[in-house]
Structure 1
Amino acid sequence: MLSADNLVILDRDGVINHDSDNYIKSLDEWVPYPSSVTAIARLTRTGYTVAVATNQSGIARGYYDEATLHAMHEHLISLVEAEGGHIAHIAYCPHVPNDNCQCRKPLPGMLIQIQQILGLESLTGSWMVGDSLRDIQAGEAVGCKTALVRTGKGVKTEQKGVGLEKTKVFDDLAQFVEWLIK
């Protein structure tokens, strides 16, 4: 049975794949970090459940549509499965900040969706891994342990140093996975 202690929730852009201030608008622009797919597969092969929670306001902004987003996610899933891994669920928020939704990080709506879909009583003890303060805040709001990676916006987030008191910091997702498995 799935336990919150064995769940790792990942932000997408800047953690799994290269980020862009101009948004990732197509499958061609979606470029995974060399070690991230292997790290995700390694997590699942060692008994962890992996989910993704990603803000995707480019949809509301009209930069790309949900079909394009699904193509990116299907590609990610196929890459992970090709290495013997699995992604249990991908939650995304298609809204812009002014939409006042409950899903856009730093609000925990996507994490709660993951909790419900996976049938967990709580997320206490699970991990939220991100590259921005809003990822950390969303995780902390539901009792997750938090990790910041220095890829994506992670270095800038770390340099600000605000709100990271309980957060572990790693160079990238692969280093986090190596630490977690040991």
Structure 2
Amino acid sequence: MAARLPSWAWVTGLTVGATAAVVFLAVQADHGPHPAAAAGKPSASASAGAHASAKPETPAGPPELPGDSGDGRRIVYSLGAKRLWLVDATGKAVRTFTVWPGTVDPGPGRYSITVRTQSLQGSDGVEIEHVMYFTKASGVNIAFSNALDGASPPPADGKKLGGIRLRKEDGAALWSFGDQGTKVAVVS
């Protein structure tokens, strides 16, 4: 008469077997051929026999520091790209991020941080922090800042606003980087 195995032994045996099979198949798949993505987009006139180049595309990174932004340690603000770069003394961008500009832009030129204020209420009624003033345009003070709650600014409703808003973590980084007197280069 044959001895009967308990059900837990069957379940354990099946689980171990299934796990071993999955591991075996994963190892086999890792050693097999891998498909390569074709670079570029096929044109509308591409034929079934045409092949795209096997050259991989370079991953897109953040935009390069504008060449006309000066030299040395500085903050670079691009009006067109709506982006800031924090540049160290060697001229290397150590951080870059996008911003939400106000309704009044500063003119392209060279400025410096004149006043820093830890927190206050912005002219749009939003509580802001890390406020760094660097110029005035059309009678409006222009400053970098971030909302205390990290939110993006609401539409301006026809108000003249000079606040250039940043995300909370970017505002903290800018605050640590830019002391009073730090150069600010504004480019188109």
Normalised by the length of structure 1, the TM-score is 0.24
Specify which structure has the higher proportion of strand. Answer: 2
The structure with the larger Rg is 2
Normalised by the length of structure 2, the TM-score is 0.24
Specify which structure has the higher proportion of helix. Answer: 1
